[in-house]
């Protein structure tokens, strides 16, 4: 096994260079592949106890669209979310 981003795995699958892969993202409309869930990894919103978000969590992610936040750069996830 070697690290490979999801989009690179899809290209390798299409080209026949690999027989399968573990994808973080895939186009569910692509009927050439089927997907079998192997992991459910919920993302949590961490907020200070007295934050408005802790008192009333957002019902939709869109409610957070104007909020400043910290996000993990995709490149740091490369070896943990795709294989």
| pLDDT-derived band at 77, boundaries 50, 70, 90 | low
Kindly tell me if the per-residue pLDDT of 62 is higher than 90: no
Mean pLDDT of 26-55: 85
Residue, of 14 and 72, whose pLDDT is higher: 14
Question: In Å, how far are 36, 47, 48, 67 from 62, measured between CA atoms?
Answer: 28, 16, 20, 10
- 25 Cα distance to chain centroid: 6
Mean pLDDT of 18-41: 84
Residue, of 38 and 73, whose pLDDT is higher: 38
Mean pLDDT of 9-18: 92
């Amino acid at each position: 096994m070697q690290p490979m981003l999801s989009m690179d795995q899809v290209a390798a699958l299409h080209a026949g260079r690999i027989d399968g892969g573990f994808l973080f993202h895939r186009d569910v409309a692509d009927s050439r592949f089927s997907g079998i869930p192997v992991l459910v990894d919920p993302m949590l919103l961490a907020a200070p106890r007295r934050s408005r978000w802790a008192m009333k969590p957002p019902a939709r992610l869109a409610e957070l669209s104007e909020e400043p936040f910290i996000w993990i750069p995709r490149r740091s996830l490369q070896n943990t979310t795709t294989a």
